[in-house]
Structure 1
């Protein structure tokens, strides 16, 4: 095995993370797909965007067991192959059922490799180096989302089907991870046993992540619809905005270790409040400049949410429950993303207006409420180890 402290090893390990947040990057194509896929409602078209999250949440909880049976590296490589097949197949067909099935397979691939992108960090790194790597891991996720988003924005000028070929980006981690990472079949440091139990702090954290991703996904799904219905931009402009949101998250994640030293656990309520302000700004924007400012705020503060969640796991989860706890966080994020349109659209209808701006306003209001709750738990030291209180 290569030295885990070398940059070659770190880059290969981080490469699988560039795919984790790219499944929904195709959301800017929703208006174009709606014109082409006749007989499908808007909710059905939006389900194409969220379907990978359903496949992901089904596989994440079993990734440890599958990894133990097949070997961690084989499990990760299988996930990457499923991602490749599911990612590019929609470029070859107009059949709605085929598209949904292959998008589901794409999500299954994410569910196989994504938990190990985090749990392997706990195995190889500790303390400040762990904090830095978790920040880099989040940066890699957002780098992938930003890169894919920009490529999709360009390809949408030609065809929404062509935009799906952007998922050929999976070839990068297939090569890097395949060549440079060697994980022992039964590694001494990597615990894939599911014998550990998640405590009440982990369960509360999963609820926080679920609600956060519900709100965050509303921005991704509704942005293209908002700028077109309000006649302030085009789908391509929305795709650029979404890709920049990934860039802002990537930059913020890269500085996570430094911010973590200054703010500690107060990063979380600060991030939730910043995201809320960004969502309010997008919902009330009358021009693309304000949309980009709102996207900047959402992306910037979202970049700190998951790294801090995983730092909380490192503090409060027992050693044999860390893989399970990380998997639960990823499941809750995938479930929140998948259920976002199913929950947010009817909720907006209850307020008499199902417009994209109403959905985003409700998401922002929910984030404010979560800010207050998380500030209370942070202030009382709820997420500190018992010995540190």
Structure 2
């Protein structure tokens, strides 16, 4: 069996996370899809977020299917990546909105089949600083994958149109081959003892073996939901805002979305170091930078440079906060319940991603702004204020907890 600490084995495990955010690869194509299919802004955004709905279902079904059919972790992950590749390329040959939407649902099912295993295995295999580092690298792998698939799909869009941009999902088969060759079939950790994490001590004191799921897990699920509503909403609205500023022929939004993901990648790569230096204060840094990003994006008002700066900024802090959530889980539930609590948080993330278009539409209606032009930025001042409120709630809650102890 390959050494779990070898670089190539780590890369093989992380490689499957490369494709898990590729549902967003077509964001740069949304204005062209909207025009070609004759659909609304919200309908076009659901082509990006609909896979998240299937992910929510299949992160729950995946452990059950694995148990019923006695499938190893490696095989369930390989099945999921195969589905991603096959379903992803269907829109290359389809012109009907419903057919494309269904293919996106199947794509999400593929992600859901293996997403929780890819994360929970890290929590079980690795401990302490190595675990935090691997979780950060996993987040970075997601962002690198999203950046690469966005850039490739955007490049194809410029030369061959929106149909051909879906060819980016052929990359899933490259990932499948690498994973199949390098990862051993027996992917269970030999040691289920998880080292106590300094970050989790801010929320809970762990002195004895954990016997039940902490209520903090449910708060983290809600937290994950709110973060992704904001993040995905900004990604979805950016192409429409660029067209409103630059004109309907503009196709360069994919490049900026890819650049934004470079910041997100750096956030994942440096999460372990920043967490080590700041401890629980990492969450305040992340939420503060995300709030600033929202305000820049919201108040750009036709200033393209300011809009781009707001977009580029949001990726880095999100990848400081999301690994934090997963890093807390091993100290908030027993080792045998880690797949369950990991799935719960993934459901929070994907529920937020799926409903992001509808929530953004509600925000537009709340402030009485239409769903077009520069008014697509209307939800983001509200999101920025929400992030500040969340940071204050966390601050006073943890302060009260310390005083009570």
In the alignment, what sits opposite 2:163?
161
TM-score by length of 2: 0.88
Cα deviation, residue 378, structure 1: 4.1
Q: Distance in 2 between matches of 1:232 and 1:275?
A: 28
Change (3 A) 1:235 1:51: farther
Unpaired runs of 5+ in structure 1?
A: none
Q: Distance in 1 between matches of 2:283 and 2:132?
A: 15
- 2:261–2:312 contact (8 Å) kept in structure 1: no
Secondary structure of the 2:158 match is coil
Please give the residue correspondences for 1:33-72 in structure 2 after superposition, counting only pairs within 5 Å: 33-38=33-38, 40-68=39-67, 69-72=70-73
Q: Deviations over 1:76-111 (max 9, x none)?
A: 111011111121111111111211111001000110
Q: Distance in 1 between matches of 2:251 and 2:109?
A: 28
In the alignment, what sits opposite 1:16?
16
Cα deviation, residue 357, structure 1: 1.2
Q: Distance in 1 between matches of 2:279 and 2:401?
A: 11
- 1:87–1:102 contact (8 Å) kept in structure 2: yes
In the alignment, what sits opposite 1:357?
377
Unpaired runs of 5+ in structure 2?
A: 194-210
Q: Deviations over 1:310-357 (max 9, x none)?
A: 111122222222111111111110000000111221222121114211
Q: Distance in 1 between matches of 2:189 and 2:316?
A: 36
Q: Deviations over 1:198-244 (max 9, x none)?
A: 43100000000001111111101101111222348965332111111
In the alignment, what sits opposite 2:79?
78
Q: Distance in 1 between matches of 2:164 and 2:62?
A: 32
Q: Distance in 2 between matches of 1:242 and 1:319?
A: 37
Cα deviation, residue 374, structure 1: 2.4
1:254 aligns with 2:269: yes
Cα deviation, residue 190, structure 1: 7.5
Q: Distance in 1 between matches of 2:384 and 2:247?
A: 21
Change (3 A) 1:64 1:235: farther
CA RMSD of superposed structures (Å): 2.1
Change (3 A) 1:11 1:200: same
TM-score by length of 1: 0.92
Change (3 A) 1:375 1:86: farther
Please give the residue correspondences for 1:39-188 in structure 2 after superposition, counting only pairs within 5 Å: 40-68=39-67, 69-158=70-159, 159-184=161-186
Moved more, 175-184 or 328-337: 175-184
Q: Deviations over 1:169-204 (max 9, x none)?
A: 21232011111111328765589xxxx864310000
Change (3 A) 1:341 1:2: same
Cα deviation, residue 123, structure 1: 2.1
- 2:290–2:313 contact (8 Å) kept in structure 1: yes
Number of residue pairs aligned between Structure 1 and Structure 2: 379
Change (3 A) 1:201 1:245: same
Cα deviation, residue 27, structure 1: 1.4
2:338 to 322, 325, 349: 322
Q: Distance in 1 between matches of 2:188 and 2:145?
A: 30
In the alignment, what sits opposite 2:199?
none
